[in-house]
Structure 1
């Protein structure tokens, strides 16, 4: 397997800041807005963007949630191994709110579909937008597209995109892992 750096720590930082500014431009007021990160891998990305939006906007009351979609996925019954869901941290309702759903990598779209299904337990949002650090274009199985993208990359089906975060891996970096037959 070959590995190639897609994003360095500096590039990731710039993208997160840019996305936060984009959100502040599009949401002049965050009163009826919530930021929700997908468990487990979208949480750190969502936390960082959320903190940056609060800093830029001066609004420290923007609700933040962590959503697990394990049992909303259409493939959860296909695994022979028991699944261990993460904890949902959603101490607010999203009824009539604008929701910014955040994940690290958009690939087939199935996790996002599951997230939209899981969101209904918390009310009916006025609008849902999607922000992702990496958009793996040309790999979608469902008609889902991000509203905010850090970087769009073209990958093959067998390739992997691995996001590393300082909080979990000791460094910020995004890797493209290519299976030898995919060169």
Structure 2
């Protein structure tokens, strides 16, 4: 028996490619069912993995309803509450990569559905709402997430949930998407940081 660190627990697959596709199909159906005015619907993906999810949902909604929702992306880098700048000193934490916010449509009169992969503390969504409202005032803002893992720190609740997944703080939900990672799946794995890096 070798002495040293204990063996690392393996990641557990929660959704495979087929299950993820079925989950997105159900979310698209719910979007159609709960929004009477589909031409006023806009799907806004939160960088990074919320963006391809929003594009997939747009395709599914269009395929099933004949109406193609507007599509946009939002970057939350400058709205995060963990981005700290200390005068001329180095930041306390690694700084986020800044990506483009693209909202090529007026927000007024729209139902904007923010799309993200994992809902955890709610801080990312709060930042995304702040970023969205910098560009206008939609009639409604809704939230669609692939996985809700619990442990909310802010009073934020999703309107559309692909999978409710109770987790421990010592676990991490890892979403892999074909567009970014080369395959579709959702994994639950040990996370020694307690999920604070999500």
Q: Would you call these one fold, judging by a TM-score over 0.5?
A: yes
Q: CA RMSD in A?
A: 1.6
Which range moved further: 158-167 or 104-113? Answer: 158-167
Contact 2:147 2:162 in 1 (8 A): yes
Q: Does 1:40 pair with 2:48?
A: yes
Return the offset for 1:96.
2.5
Structure number with the higher strand fraction is 1
Partner of 1:63: 70
Tell me the residue number matched to 1:13: 21
2:127 maps to which residue? 114
SS across alignment from 1:144: coil
The Cα offsets for residues 36-91 of structure 1, whole Å up to 9 and x where unpaired, read as: 0001121111111111001111013x210010001101111164434321111211
- Structure (1 or 2) with the greater helix fraction: 1
State the SS of the aligned residue for 1:154.
Answer: coil
Give the deviation of 1:179 after TM superposition. Answer: 4.3
Aligned residue-pair number: 179
Distance 1:92 1:79, change over 3 A: farther
| Greater than 2 Å deviation, 4+ residue runs | 78-84
1:135 maps to which residue?
Answer: 148
Unmatched runs of 5 consecutive residues or more in structure 1: none
